[in-house]
Structure 1
Amino acid sequence: MDLEQPALPGMPRTRRRRAAGVQVADELPVARVLVDRPQPHLDRPFDYLVPAELADRVRAGVRVKVRFAGQDVDGWVVDRVAESEHAGRLTPLRRLVSAEVVLPTETLDLVTAVARRWAGTVADVLRLAVPPRHAAVEREEWPDGSVPPRPDVQDSAWQRTPGGPAFLRRVAAGEAPWAVWQALPWTVEPWADQVAQAVGAARAGGRGALVVVPSGAEVDLAVDALERHGVAPWRPGSAGGWVRLVADEGPAARYRAFLAAVRGAADVVVGTRAAAFAPVARLGLAVCWDDADPLHEEPRAPYPHAREVLAMRAGEGTALLVGGYSRSVAAQRWVELDRARPLVADRTELRRSTPRPVHLDRAELAREGPAAAARLPSAAWRTIRDGLEHGPVLVQVPRAGYLPAVACARCRTVARCATCGGPLRLAGSHALPACGWCGGLASAWRCGECGHTGLRSIAVGAARTAEELGRAFPGVALRRSSAEHGVLRSVPAGRSLVVATTGAEPIAESGYAAAVLLDAQVTASRPGLDADQAALRHWLAAAALVRPSSEGGVAVLIGDVPAPLAGAFVRWDPAGLAERVLAERAAVQLPPAAHLVVLEGERAAVQAVADGLHVRTTVRGPIPTGPAPDGVLDPERSRPVRALLQTPWPQAAALVADLGAVLATRSAAREGIVRVRVEPTDVG
């Protein structure tokens, strides 16, 4: 039979005929489908007919193939309805890809909210939230599992933190508190054990948990701690347990973990940033460890941050725990707004649990005379020598490589590649200088200023540091940990020197006897809005692996850095620095004190987007970010620029909605592309 198609208001009603050769479902014959297209003007459901042979299997949340703009494209069914509001003829679904419901209503609501908040499209966010299908995994037979016993609430690892046991009791009781947690050093109370006990509290209340960490290394630590605290890994046929949701696991393992969560078989998910969307049944606790780590920010559009996605999921029935050795400015804003309670050990406990922090700046080293100018002053040598008498010693280096930057030995002009202008570097003591950009060798390099052919170092990397320490301490085991040489997970308790780049510090079995943090001025002077916060996070993460001061542990920071930053390290007070930085940003309306949107693209396109907004906002710029292109009639209109839109938080949602409408209009007209970043952690 023909199905009557309701027309748009004010238009005559039309008849929608049955598609040629296709029998349409008798009940709810229309499927609303989100097509996998990133264009903003296509960011809405489209109506398709449901063939009768698929009527029993097509339901909200399944994947389908549809005909769109002359091509077969992927799509997700979001609803089945009796009638369509479209006035024309509808096309039937091409085929059902899978009857597996991979997009539950809760996930669709979250994905839609994330797309709206970050001015993106639902299709872009779905690529982050739903892993690619693996048909063989869907065909696996999983026997029914028994319900696991509920564990008792354990809070022994939280006894040193005021408010910690109360937080766990509230989670176990089904409440939804928010907490910003400053973890004690690993040598005293491993953060993974505390996270495992928080997860146990959620499971004791009959709810699931979601733990998001920056990288696979932290995933390993978290799941090991879960097993130590009685949370078993999920296996096909078991009911409950943890799964890893990490892209590096491979497509089959990742999809199996996702299905275990979406089917309600696994009640704990541990993973990296994309796991923030994991469909955990009866979610009772969301944890974000080290939320200031840049790995938590998605590098693909629309660039959501895992911490904020978890905060959107928290609320009625879901508690939120954001923790780290440091404190992000965004978390500090939650504390000041009374949205979250701080969980921090008192000063007495901090002094007892942390190593003795020492900052050696130019003034401290002045008494050493000419030796004060050395990269490794005599005080650092003594710290390493004394520490090796009691166990392993960690040396943190902010730069990788051997000599990552060199200059003319006579006039000190930075050596650059004659082909592309990139900086030259040395990969070893006998290596030829090579360009850091194009990789070309510069065997016949000659200084353009004075004609000299000799080179000297102006930056020392981890490889050169390890070479120097190996000569200075012969007979001592030397270990390297970096992306270049491989990141070590742990080192034995014996006497050894460990040279690691920032973020690659391995855990010592019994804690490091000492840590020397080199080139502090390099870490603190890197460009970016969060430079101070990032530097303190790196230093505290390394110092947290050192034994407490009561056991002789010491952490030495070498280099001139701003006094507030040095004071935060010496006092072990990341909350104080976060409070100071937030106040400074509030004075100039920078995030997170104010809402910020970054527009990047050609000058004409960026200006058109800014001019098309109706919501009142403060526009900073646009400022050039690169040279004007050659060979165009008006190079200034095509010059790449950046503009900032500053808005008070109460008007943020209205601005982003207005921005989304402007982008959709430009997309439909195929006008110039503008890259949009909403709530960026950095504007550099």
Structure 2
Amino acid sequence: MSRRVARVLIDSPLPQLDRLFDYAIPDELAGECVPGVRIKAPLRTAGRVVDGYVVEIGDEADGDRPLSELDSVVSAAEVLPPRLYALARRVADRAAGSAVDILRLAIPKRQVRVEKQWLAGDPPPAPVVPQGRVEAAHALLAAYPGLAEGLEESGRLAVDAPPRLEGARPAWTALISAAATVVLAAGRSVVLVVPDHRDLDALHGALLETLPADAVVRHDAQQTGPERYRGFLRTLADAPCVVIGNRSAVYSPVARLGLIALWDDGDPLYEEQLAPYVHARDAALVRQELADPDSGETPALLLAGHTRTADVERLVALGWVRDVPAARRYAPNVILSALNESERPGARIPSAAFRAAREGLEHGPVLVQVARPGYAPTLVCADCRAPARCRHCGGPLHAPGRGATPVCGWCGRSATAWTCAACSSPRVRLASSGSERTADELGRAFPGARVIVADNAHPVLEVDDRPALVVATRGAEPIAQGGYRAVLLLDGDRMLQAPELRIGEACLRWWSNAAALAAPGAPVHLVGVGGAVGRALATWTQAAYARAELADRAPLRMPPTARVARIEGDVAAVDRALATLRADVPELPADAVLGPVPLDRQGWPGARALIRFDYSRGAAVAASLRASVVTEAVNARSSRRGSAKSRAPRNILTARLDIVEPEL
């Protein structure tokens, strides 16, 4: 006799459970068990009841096959619609990860009271956008010829946002808000993703000026559990809406998705810190290709920023993403400042930049960007210049204030009676200037001027238009009413010395975002930096710099010209995974694998290796590595069974794809 069978995804971190399991549906649950609901099911291998989701319901002709029955249905809320599972499965397969790990990012923790209210209430109505606001949005989009048409045709678009302020908000918020308004007015949903809460607040304010408040759903890690779950349930409704949030908002399961927009995709906050470590841009690219299961439509993709990442420029060069330039180009007044012959060597601020700051203070606030927070982040011996280290843990010492006792940055101990381990000198020297020391020095240079420090310890979102020196670390610059009358970008040479593959690209992004906060015509002084990065900022040709970066990385096969995967774990497991990879993907070149190299895994000998491969081989490489991870996990579980005191690491083998900074 035939019977109804539920295909269930188990909520488990074990990679070998990343598949659908068949369960028989008992008669008492037949009316409640539908696709998308949360359930509890027995797991015979673990001897316990586990959580899961019903993905599919089907009829099975072979009623004699032994199947376990579902234990219970947790809730009637269908929190896993087919479109969300399809996205999670596709993203996980691309990253050699588990679908349930993606779903943990997409589906918040259940809030019973909120869920009951939602189930008892009426479905939300479709939002109504006034025609006047739609026309105003089209007028804004007209500044980029072809942008409105690209949104309507579900295109993949790259836009260099206008680097200026409009009122109290950056101009990019109005541009993205206009795109969202046009798409929502056409009856389709929108997902807008930004890096941090500052961008989120600015964009949220711009949207509320154009759209009804009930049409905007905020997805924010700073929200309470009930607030976040209430917003998630709203995205499950058929009525279109606009979702704004940080990186995990890209998985919002809205119906009839018409637009996915990412602002400033080069920000490292888009890199997911949880397995399978998928960048929000990659998730958006995958989602853009998936057609809606109900309408068959695909959404448009909009990648906007003041700079162009090498990843986006690669897609533009391939024709996969279309560049949409502005009809009228606007660029800040960037000046490359350097010390002249008459100035003291080692001076931090050239006379031209100092003069620009003094003149700017006569009319309003002046922004000074520095590399690091604190007073003196780095100390050295005053005699031999050796780095000052803590005698207890060997950590670096820093000065918390002027004339203060040095403090260890690792253990927090005060270094009283410190002596240099190299020359026994008791004197230290301030080798760098943080935001607080810079503010102290500028306060003495401009007596009577108001000085504001903006960094992680002193968050400042906005400043008024009164004269003030605003000393901010990169990314923490507050918005000034009417824009800054001058911008000084200090410590550029120090920033460029960081040992990172993309440090030039990152510096250009930091400086461009700060320059975009300047008032029209205000001078932006980049101090002590020349070369390709300085020229790109001065001429405002960030896309050309990204193209040059691609050309430099191509011979080395470094990201994003090629994909890079990293595997690490037990030495034998890494060797077996590499041998399996060679057998599964024989077309990999001989130099595709770098390593393996020894790795200490909590006292257990291990190894690490990198694999470089073309995008066309991505699916095969991901499938092979995932199979090796599952095989090693199953074998390790079998070998440890009955040996609870094994010292071996829990994960015998791990794999991570799309490494941003490849290193062995």
Q: Same fold judged by TM-score > 0.5?
A: yes
Secondary structure at the aligned position of 1:420 is classed as coil
Give the whole-Å Cα distance in 1 for the aligned partners of 2:406 and 2:321: 52
Aligned residues: 627
Shift of 1:86: 10
Classify the secondary structure of the residue corresponding to 1:431: coil
Amino acid at match of 2:526: L
Pairs within 5 Å for 1:30-49: 30-49=5-24
Q: Kindly tell me: are residues 460 and 623 of structure 1, through their superposed partners in 2, closer, same or farther at Cα, counting changes over 3 Å?
A: farther
CA separation of 1:43 and 1:383: change in aligned 2, threshold 3 A: same
Does the alignment pair 1:411 with 2:384? yes
Partner in structure 1 of residue 66 of structure 2: 89
Q: Structure 1's 88 and 455: CA in aligned 2 closer, same or farther, altered over 3 A?
A: farther
What secondary structure, in the 3-state scheme, does the structure 2 residue paired with 1:93 have?
A: coil
Match of 1:324 among 292, 298, 305: 305
- Tell me what 1:593 maps to: 561
2:209 maps to which residue?
228
Distance of 1:32 and 1:84 partners within structure 2:
15
| CA displacement at 1:206 relative to structure 2 | 1.6
Give the superposition deviation at 1:453: 0.6
Match of 1:167 in 2: 147
Q: Distance in 2 between matches of 1:629 and 1:64?
A: 37
Matched AA of 2:104: R
Q: 1:434 to 1:521 in 2, by over 3 A?
A: same
Aligned equivalent of 2:661: 682
Superposed CA deviations along residues 65-116 of structure 1, whole A, max 9, x for unmatched, are: 1222122221011112222889863222222111100110011000000110
Q: Give the superposed CA RMSD.
A: 2.1
Question: For 1:257-305, what per-residue CA distance to the aligned partner results, in whole angstroms no more than 9, with x for missing partners?
Answer: 1100112345110111111010111111110111111111111110111
**Aligned-residue offset at 1:602:** 4.6
| Residue 341 (structure 2) aligned to one of 359, 367, 371 | 367
1:502 is matched with: 474
For the residue of structure 2 that corresponds to 1:200, the secondary structure is helix
Provide the rounded CA distance (Å) in 2 between the counterparts of 1:160 and 1:86: 64
Is the 8 Å Cα contact of residues 406 and 455 (structure 1) preserved in structure 2?
A: yes
CA distance in 1, matches of 2:461, 2:240: 27
Task: Tell me if the contact between 1:187 and 1:545 (Cα under 8 Å) persists in the aligned partners.
Answer: yes
Question: Quick one: distance in 1 between partners of 2:394 and 2:75?
Answer: 53
Contact 1:394/1:499 (8 A) holds in 2: yes
* One-letter identity of the residue aligned with 1:668: V
Separation in 2, partners of 1:338, 1:368 = 51
How far did 1:652 drift?
Answer: 1.4
1:497 is paired with a residue of what secondary structure? strand
1:559 is the counterpart of 2:528 = yes
1:313 to 245, 262, 287: 287
Provide, for residues 484-529 of structure 1, a one-character-per-residue CA deviation record: whole Å limited to 9, x for no partner.
122x221111111111111111111100011111100122222222
Q: Does the Cα contact within 8 Å between 1:47 and 1:84 map onto a contact in 2?
A: no
After superposition, the Cα gap between the structure-2 partners of 1:288 and 1:629, relative to the gap in structure 1 and judged at 3 Å, is closer
Deviation of 1:143 (Å): 3.9
SS state at 2:127 partner: coil
Distance 2:421 2:188 in 1: 68
Give 2:121's aligned residue.
Answer: 142
Listed as ranges, the matches of 1:614-633 within 5 Å are: 614=583, 615-616=585-586, 617=588, 618-622=591-595, 624=597
Q: From 52, 62, 68, give the equivalent of 2:27.
A: 52
1:619–1:643 contact (8 Å) kept in structure 2:
no
Are 1:610 and 1:619, in contact at CA under 8 Å, matched by a contact in 2? Answer: no
Partner of 1:481: 454
Name the counterpart of 1:129: 106
Q: Secondary structure of 1:510's match? A: coil
1:298-326: CA deviations, max 9, x gaps? 11110111112111121443111001001
Partner of 1:117: 94
Q: Which residue of 1 aligns with 2:414?
A: 441
Gaps of 5+ in 2: 290-296, 638-650
Larger mean CA deviation between 539-548 and 335-344 belongs to 335-344
Equivalent in the alignment of 1:661: 627
Rounded to whole Å, the distance in 2 between the matches of 1:560 and 1:87 is 75
The 1:625/1:453 distance shift into structure 2, 3 A limit, reads farther
Does 2:324 correspond to 1:343?
yes
| d(CA) in 1 for partners of 2:412, 2:63 | 57
Task: Report whether the alignment pairs 1:644 with 2:623.
Answer: no
Gaps of 5+ in 1: 5-27, 235-240, 633-637
Structure 2 distance, partners of 1:418, 1:84, is 73
One-letter amino acid of the counterpart of residue 316, structure 2: V
Q: Which of 129, 139, 145 is matched with 1:156 structurally?
A: 139
Q: Deviations over 1:432-484 (max 9, x none)?
A: 21211222221121011111111101121111111111222222222121111
| CA spacing shift, 1:147–1:46, aligned 2, 3 Å | closer
SS in 1 for 2:269: helix
Aligned to 1:358: 335
Q: What corresponds to 1:465 in structure 2?
A: 438
- Tell me the CA shift for residue 338 of structure 1: 0.8
- Aligned 1:135-284 pairs, distance under 5 A: 135-140=112-117, 141-150=120-129, 151=131, 152-153=134-135, 154-161=137-144, 163=145, 166-171=146-151, 174-187=152-165, 190-229=171-210, 231-234=211-214, 241-265=215-239, 267-284=241-258
Cα distance, 1:659–1:65 mapped onto 2, change above 3 Å: same
CA–CA distance in 1 between the matches of 2:78 and 2:173?
Answer: 33
1:25-79 CA-to-partner distances (Å, cap 9, x unmatched) read xxx5321111111222111111222222221111111111122212222101111
Question: Does 2:510 correspond to 1:533?
Answer: no
1:364-384 Cα deviation digits (max 9, x unpaired): 4132332x4112233332121
| 8 Å CA contact 2:565, 2:659 repeated in 1 | yes
The amino acid of 1:274's aligned partner reads S
Aligned partners of 1:217 and 1:489 also within 8 Å: yes
Distance 1:432 1:600, change over 3 A: farther
